[in-house]
Amino acid sequence: MAGGIKKFVVGCFDDEAVLFPAVKNVRRKGYKIHDVYTPFPVHGLDHAMGLRETSLHTAGFIYGITGTATALTCISWIFTKDWPLNIGGKPHFALPAWIPITFELTVLFAAVGMVLTFCYLCQLSPFVKKHHFHLRATDDLFVMVIECTDKTNDEEVQAFLTAAGASEVNVQVAETGWWLGRYDREQKLYRELEKGY
Partner 1 sequence: MNQSFELPGSYKKWTMGLIIVGAVALLYGFIMYHPFGHSARGVNVSGTRFWAVLLQNSVYWLLVVNAAMFFIGVTTLAMGGWQVALRRVPEAISSVVPVLGVIAFFILMAIVWGGHDDIYPWVNEATVKSDKIINGKSGFLNPKFFTVWSAITIGLWSFLGYKMRSLSLQSDQDGPMDYETGNAWVKKNILWASLFIVFFGLTVGSTIPWLWLMSIDVHWYSTMFSWYTFASTFVAGLSLIALFIVFLKNNGQLQYVTDEHIHDIGKFMFAFSVFWAYLWFSQYMLIWYANIPEETGYFKIRVQGPYRGIFFLNLILNFGCPLLILMKKSSKRNYTLLTFMAILIIFGHWIDFWQMVMPGTMYENAQIMPFEFGIALLFIGIIMWRVGVYFSTNSLTAKNHPFLKESMIHHV
Closest CA to 56 of 106, 111, 126, 129: 111
126 counts as binding partner 1 under rule CB under 8 A: no
Stretch that binds partner 1, among 8-16, 95-103, 111-119, 121-129 (CB under 8 A): 95-103
Handedness of CA 99, 100, 105, 108 (dihedral sign): positive
Q: Which residue's CB is nearer to partner 1, number 38 or number 158?
A: 38
Residue 75 CB, nearest distance to partner 1 (Å)?
15
Report the alpha-carbon angle 159-166-183, nearest 5. 100
Number of residues that bind partner 1 (CB under 8 A): 10
First to last CA, the chain: 18
Interaction residues for partner 1, span 71-90 (CB under 8 A)? 88-89
43 counts as binding partner 1 under rule CB under 8 A: yes
Q: Are 182 and 127 in contact (CB under 8 A)?
A: no
Q: Which residue's CB is nearer to partner 1, number 45 or number 171?
A: 45
Stretch that binds partner 1, among 92-100, 116-124, 134-142, 158-166 (CB under 8 A): 92-100
44 counts as binding partner 1 under rule CB under 8 A: yes
96 counts as binding partner 1 under rule CB under 8 A: yes
61 counts as binding partner 1 under rule CB under 8 A: yes
Handedness of CA 7, 167, 18, 118 (dihedral sign): positive
Residue 38 CB, nearest distance to partner 1 (Å)?
17
Closest CA to 66 of 114, 105, 100, 94: 105
Stretch that binds partner 1, among 19-27, 73-81, 97-105, 162-170 (CB under 8 A): 97-105
DSSP 52-108: PPP-HHHHHHHHHHHHHHHHHHHHHIIIIII-----TT--SS-HHHHHHHHHHHHHH
99 counts as binding partner 1 under rule CB under 8 A: yes
Contact residues for partner 1 (CB under 8 A)?
43-44, 57, 61, 88-89, 96-97, 99-100
